[in-house]
Amino acid sequence: MQKKVFQLLVINTSGVLSRIAGLFARRGYNVESITAGVTADPRITRITIVASGDDEILEQIEKQLAKLEDVRNIKELEPDKSVFRELIMIKVRAAAEQRQSIIAVADIFRAKIIDVAPESLIIELTGNQQKIDAFIDLLEGHEILEQARTGIAGLGRGTESVVQIDMV
Amino acid sequence: MIGADAIVKCLEAEGVTTVFGYPGVAICPFYNSILESDIRTILIRTEQNAAHAASGVSRITGRPGVCAVTSGPGATNVITGIATAFADSIPLICITGQVNSELLGSDVFQEADITGAVESFVKYSYLVKDANEIPRIVKEAFHIANTGRKGPVLIDVPIDVQNASVTRFKYPESVSLRTYKPTVKGNMVQIKKVVRELEKAKRPLICAGGGVLLGGAEKELCSFAEKHQIPVVSTMMGIGVMPTDHPLYFRMVGNNGKAYANRAMNESDLLIMVGARVADRAVNQPDMITRNKVLVHIDVDPAEIGKNAGPTIPLVGDAKHIFEDLEKEEFSCSTQEWIETLKNFRRTLATKRKPDPAYVDPAAFIMRLTERMEEDGIYVADVGQNQIWSCGYAKVRKGKFMTTGGMGTMGYSIPAAMGAKVAAPKRQVVAVCGDGSFQMSMMELATMCQHDIPVKIVVLKNNYLGMVRQYQHFTYKDNYSVVDLSGSPDLEKLSSAYGIPFLRLENMEKCDETIDAFLKDDVSMLLECIIDPMDLV
């Protein structure tokens, strides 16, 4: 089982996400995360999919996605040639006396405290998955009340990896 | 015990007595296991009709009808039947065979992603991965199909799961679904509000939809309406909520309904829509039912409320419970004058037909047919002009009127009538269709013969797809396109090929005798009525 990150540039139509999700469901592919957002050109949406499977499955995933009419471009974002970021928000239980230790951990990770309530804190952290996982590990001992992860967004490094979509 | 045995055991536990279907390799383990059971299997001639027949069972028993078909084309063929049940909120359990779960997603022979394909037409669907899950899944499926807003549920079972051994079989007694808890009882605060509005109202009206029948609330609605003398109209799916000759009933609304029923809707000052979707055919202009009046919308599905018209008083719950609660409230409303007005509308706005005496007049024929049918007879209307005449002129007493008002699927009446007859073998069941809709389901004559299902079939024959011809008459000034049904078979010869007795009625002379001969004895019979090809509804 391995993981791959795919970058898809798709036509921004209603239903495109459901077509992609339907493909994964129909063929029984595993998806770890999927994020979508409009690109600089509002007609195009960038979708980042983290999928897992053996080599044959991952190859099929790429080919099947490429076949979808709305998918204009698909490529693998290889870890050494790309940057990945994920955003996480964690609400931890924190009475006044616990706050300092939590804030200290957050500082080391350059995380931000974005909400303080009498009994809890919300921490925002952006980074790659390893950093986020390490941060969550360090919070052990504190009660995590709620947690929201966005899933990975990524871009290839440099200008060579830029994909131009001609929309005319 | 294997998975297939478990499915059969579950169906037995749910009290299922008949399964309609069509086997194929992927559903063979199920059809092998069912041989050990008392459940009756009926080989339908095309899968779509298996779902329609199951729908007929549901409408008569109030329990989900069951159909079972094979993977791939079997499953895709059944989709129209499922979509029909979904649009009409009919509870249904559809079991589909599926290819080996190891091969799922690899496009092997007869693989179709049926759970994906029916997504927008089912209330819920399952793809079974583990045979031990079967009891829980079947229990849930029946619960989901037949509670709240009813509808079809599909269970897709790969052949290896049907063949896998089930280590421990126990049919669950109850269901625990955390996210699915339909509201049944109406909110008392809202009910009191309705009562306060009813006290003020001078021209109250109840518009009953199919939800009243699905909720089994006919008696409760009727006794509430009678107690306070509130007149009632219905949508197409609501026909039969009260006897059609009930003094408080003013028939069907909508663009194919009675002008006086629509007038009643417009003139009312308090309108109680119950179990109705407020869809375009019933309510052409939704703002007409909110303007200058108090609109109360009762539905078990909260998403229906406010979807097409914003009500003054939304009331979520099951029609039966709500009318029971409403009846307990003491209040008075005087409607004498309003009822007189409605009777006046009925006199002045009644449709005046000028039938050509050379043909059978479908309106008069349907009136006489339904008068001569047994009191608790079941009338199944197909789709097309025949449906509109049926809705407009059929007399319903203690029987049942069935049609597909939501999806309008041609060919519904014969398989649905077969389902009804199987569910209620002692009752008289008559399917009334046109020559277009008849030909969409005529292969089922074989099923009727094979399984001895004595359904009476009326074919209103005009050699046209009449409803579309009528539309082209008005919209395209008689520029007819693809509506001519020339080439249709000689129905007398067709009937005799199946060994089904045949009668023909060419005009209104001998109408009553022919109807009596047609209805006599509990045997299948086909009655062809020659109607005016140019007639309009």
Q: How far is A90 from chain B (nearest CA, A)?
A: 25
Asked if B305 and B372 sit in the same domain, the reply is no
A residues 18-47 closer than 8 Å to B (CB) = 22, 25-29
Residues of A in contact with B113 (CB under 8 A): 22, 25-26
- Rounded CA-CA distance B209/A14 in Å is 33
Edge-to-edge strand ranges of the sheet holding B232-234: B249-252, B232-234, B204-208, B270-274, B294-299, B313-316
Q: How far is A31 from chain B (nearest CA, A)?
A: 15
The verdict on residue B461 lying in a domain is yes
pLDDT at B535 (0 to 100): 96
CB contact under 8 A, B105 and A29: yes
* Residue owning tokens 């009655």: B527
pLDDT at B309 (0 to 100): 85
Residues of A in contact with B116 (CB under 8 A): 22, 25-26
pLDDT at B280 (0 to 100): 86
Asked if B260 and B154 sit in the same domain, the reply is no
Tell me the DSSP string of A12-57. --TTHHHHHHHHHHHHT-EEEEEEEEE-SSTTEEEEEEEEEE-HHH
* Residue owning tokens 């290819």: B99
- Rounded CA-CA distance B236/B87 in Å is 13
CB contact under 8 A, B104 and A29: no
- Rounded CA-CA distance A96/B405 in Å is 63
User: What CATH number did the domain enclosing B87 receive?
Assistant: 3.40.50.970
Which structure tokens are listed for B372? 């001569």
Q: How many CB pairs under 8 A join A and B?
A: 13
Rounded to the nearest 10°, the torsion over CA B339, B344, B349, B353 is: 110
Asked if B378 and B436 sit in the same domain, the reply is yes
Beta carbons within 8 Å of B483's beta carbon, 6+ residues apart: B464, B465, B468, B469, B472
Q: Could you tell me if the ipTM is greater than 0.90?
A: no
Tell me how far CA of residue B429 lies from CA of A33, A72, B46, B92, B458, in angstroms: 55, 56, 21, 21, 11
Beta carbons within 8 Å of B488's beta carbon, 6+ residues apart: B435, B439, B461, B463
The verdict on residue B502 lying in a domain is yes
Q: Are B203 and B269 in contact (CB under 8 A)?
A: yes
- Domain span holding position B509: 362-530
Asked if B335 and B396 sit in the same domain, the reply is no
pLDDT at A168 (0 to 100): 64
Which structure tokens are listed for A94? 């924190």
Edge-to-edge strand ranges of the sheet holding B40-43: B40-43, B18-22, B65-69, B92-98, B152-158, B124-127
CB contact under 8 A, A27 and B116: no
**What is chain A's mean pLDDT, rounded?**
93
List phi, psi (to 5°) of B397. Answer: -110, -100
Exposed (0-12), middle (13-18) or buried (19+): which is B97, by Cβ within 10 Å? buried
Which structure tokens are listed for B502? 């045949």
> What pairing do the DSSP bridges indicate for beta strands A120-127 and A82-93?
antiparallel
State the sign of the Cα–Cα–Cα–Cα dihedral B210, B216, B219, B220: negative
- Rounded CA-CA distance B19/B38 in Å is 11
User: pLDDT at residue A161 above 90?
Assistant: no
* Residue range(s) occupied by CATH 3.30.70.1150 in chain A: 83-153
Please state, for a pLDDT cut of 70, what percent of chain A lies above it. 99
Closest chain B residue to the Cα of A21, Cα to Cα = B116
Q: How far is A15 from chain B (nearest CA, A)?
A: 13
- Rounded CA-CA distance B244/B249 in Å is 6
- Rounded CA-CA distance B397/B257 in Å is 19
- B183-209 per-residue burial string, b: 16 or more CB within 10 A, e: under 16: beebeeebbebbbebbeebebbbbbbb
Residues of B in contact with A26 (CB under 8 A): 105, 113, 116
Asked if B422 and B498 sit in the same domain, the reply is yes
List phi, psi (to 5°) of B370. Answer: -75, -25
Beta carbons within 8 Å of B142's beta carbon, 6+ residues apart: B14, B64, B93, B153
Residue B398: CB atoms within 10 A of its CB come to 10
pLDDT of chain B along its 537 residues, tens only?
999 999 999 999 999 999 999 999 999 999 999 999 999 999 999 999 999 999 999 999 999 999 999 999 999 999 999 999 999 999 999 999 999 999 999 999 999 999 999 999 999 999 999 999 999 999 999 999 999 999 999 999 999 999 999 998 999 999 988 889 999 999 999 999 999 999 999 999 999 999 999 999 999 999 999 999 999 999 999 999 999 999 999 999 999 999 999 999 999 999 999 999 988 888 888 887 888 899 999 999 999 998 888 889 999 999 999 999 999 999 988 899 999 999 999 999 988 899 999 999 999 999 999 999 999 999 999 999 999 999 999 999 999 999 999 999 999 999 999 999 999 999 999 999 999 999 999 999 999 999 999 999 999 999 999 999 999 999 999 999 999 999 999 999 999 999 999 999 999 999 999 999 999 999 999 999 999 999 999
- Rounded CA-CA distance B393/B364 in Å is 8
Residue B487: CB atoms within 10 A of its CB come to 7
Asked if B67 and B152 sit in the same domain, the reply is yes
CB contact under 8 A, B104 and A22: no
CB contact under 8 A, A28 and B116: no
* Residue range(s) occupied by CATH 3.30.70.260 in chain A: 2-76
- Rounded CA-CA distance B381/B458 in Å is 10
Secondary structure letter of residue B177 according to DSSP: -
Residue A107: CB atoms within 10 A of its CB come to 11
Q: Which helix (H) or strand (E) holds B527?
A: strand B525-530
When scoring A18, A23, A26 by the number of chain B Cβ atoms within 10 A, the one with the most, hence best to mutate, is: A26
Q: What angle do CA B456, B460, B462 make, to 5 degrees?
A: 155
Domains identified in chain B, total number? 3
Asked if B473 and B336 sit in the same domain, the reply is no
Q: Are B77 and B50 in contact (CB under 8 A)?
A: no
* Residue owning tokens 């007694």: B173
- Rounded CA-CA distance A69/A75 in Å is 16
Asked if B338 and B204 sit in the same domain, the reply is yes
B116 touches A: beta carbon within 8 Å: yes
When scoring A18, A20, A23, A27 by the number of chain B Cβ atoms within 10 A, the one with the most, hence best to mutate, is: A27
> What pairing do the DSSP bridges indicate for beta strands A2-11 and A44-53?
antiparallel
Asked if B375 and B524 sit in the same domain, the reply is yes
Q: Are B53 and B20 in contact (CB under 8 A)?
A: yes
The verdict on residue B91 lying in a domain is yes
Residues of A in contact with B106 (CB under 8 A): 27
Closest chain A residue to the Cα of B104, Cα to Cα = A27
The size of chain A, in residues, is 168
Of B293, B318, B349, which one is at a domain's C-terminal end? Answer: B349
Tell me how far CA of residue B72 lies from CA of A128, A145, B94, B96, B394, in angstroms: 43, 46, 14, 9, 40
CATH topology classification for A2-76 = Alpha-Beta Plaits (3.30.70)
Residue A22: which of B104, B106, B116 has the nearest Cβ? Answer: B116
The verdict on residue B449 lying in a domain is yes
pLDDT at A164 (0 to 100): 87
* Residue owning tokens 């979508």: A36
pLDDT at B45 (0 to 100): 98
CB contact under 8 A, B105 and A22: no
Asked if B392 and B432 sit in the same domain, the reply is yes
User: What CATH number did the domain enclosing B220 receive?
Assistant: 3.40.50.1220
CB contact under 8 A, B113 and A28: no
Single-letter amino acid, residue A116: V
Q: What angle do CA B301, B48, A25 make, to 5 degrees?
A: 65
Of B318, B349, B380, which one is at a domain's C-terminal end? Answer: B349
Q: How far is B308 from chain A (nearest CA, A)?
A: 23
Beta carbons within 8 Å of B122's beta carbon, 6+ residues apart: B82, B86, B151, B152, B153, B154
Asked if B435 and B331 sit in the same domain, the reply is no
Tell me the DSSP string of B121-156. G-SEEEE---GGGHHHHHHHHHHHHHSSS--EEEEE
CB contact under 8 A, A25 and B104: no
Which structure tokens are listed for B248? 């408080």
Q: Are A48 and A152 in contact (CB under 8 A)?
A: yes
Asked if B198 and B248 sit in the same domain, the reply is yes
3-state secondary structure of B212: helix
Q: Are A22 and A139 in contact (CB under 8 A)?
A: no
A15 touches B: beta carbon within 8 Å: no
Of B148, B163, B178, which one is at a domain's C-terminal end? Answer: B163
| CATH code for residues A83-153 | 3.30.70.1150
